[in-house]
Amino acid sequence: MALRLQTTIIFNPNSTGDGRKNSEELRDALVSAGGEAKLIETEHAGHAEELAREIADKNESAYIVSSSGDGGYHEVINGILSSKHPKVVTGVLPSGNANDHYHFIHRGDIVQRVKSEDVDMIDILRVVTPQWTRYAHSYVGLGVTPQIGEVLTKNTLNPLKESWIVITHLFKTHPVKVRIGKNIRRYDHMVFSAIGKMSKYITLDENASATDGLFEVTLKRHGTVFELVHHFLRAVVANESNAQKSERYEMTMLRSTTIQLDGEVYNLSKGDEVVVTCEKKIVRCIV
């Protein structure tokens, strides 16, 4: 029986992994199984999002695969969810360095799952600010996260080397100042996550679920550098965390800062009201 899903594989030729090779192998396997599959190479930042939106607008039976790292998949997710057909099926081939989302939800053989249309429905984080609305498949981070996470995902590391990078960069970070309700807080580290690990080794919550309608909130109040080092070493070496579950989190930024969504960094301005929610099972995927 012919495969009903029409597959487009979007790959980043500049990803840290072998995006082209992975794309070609999946295309050949799908064609051998009786399906239709084609490759599209991205040409610039944001191109994967444009392509995914265009494909989803035209074909509600499409299957759009990102052969990239978490950042490329972030673009594809946002392209699909902003299209005329947000229920288009998506997936990711691990072709980056961290591939956090893939390692958390992957199951089974992708070709067999496409043949049987074995689709998962997963939760996605939604971030709303006065300037933009974006979705994150894995995590949203403020404070030390955008600064360290970007370095970690660009390097092939073992836990010891990753711990050293974390420690050295902790001395260069600045706390995030926010208003939550009537309270003013300063945090060195804020993460809202839909997965159990970030940047390959940093444990967020070993009991995290991608289908429970909740996200994990990991906070570290501003303190000494040594307290922050201890916090991250527990997460990297001992696999410990203090995450709490939530479905909505609101805060007002009291100074300009950056925020990271799945490895992609965006700017926040002083006075911005930021709302993070969990959109339950709105993405259809085969990973």
pTM, two decimal places: 0.86
**161 and 269 inside one domain:** yes
Identify the residue whose tokens are 């090779």: 21
- Domain of 38, CATH number, reads 3.40.50.10330
pLDDT by 10s per residue, the chain, length 287: 456 678 999 998 877 678 889 999 999 999 999 889 999 999 999 999 999 999 999 999 999 999 988 889 999 999 999 999 999 999 999 887 667 888 888 999 999 999 899 999 999 999 999 999 999 999 999 988 666 666 665 555 566 676 676 667 667 677 899 999 999 999 988 999 988 666 544 555 567 688 999 999 988 876 566 666 666 555 554 444 566 899 999 999 999 999 999 988 899 999 999 999 999 999 999 99
Which is it for the CA torsion 14, 210, 228, 268, positive or negative? positive
**258 and 143 inside one domain:** yes
Q: Per the domain annotation, does 154 fall within a domain? A: yes
Query: What count of other Cβ atoms lies within 10 Å of the Cβ of residue 229?
Result: 16
- Among residues 118, 152, 176, the one where a domain terminates is 118
**163 and 89 inside one domain:** no
Tally of structural domains, the chain: 2
DSSP output for 134-201: EEESSEEEEEHHHHHHHHHHTS---HHHHHHHHHHHHTT---EEEEETTEEEEEEEEEEESSSEETTT
**114 and 233 inside one domain:** no
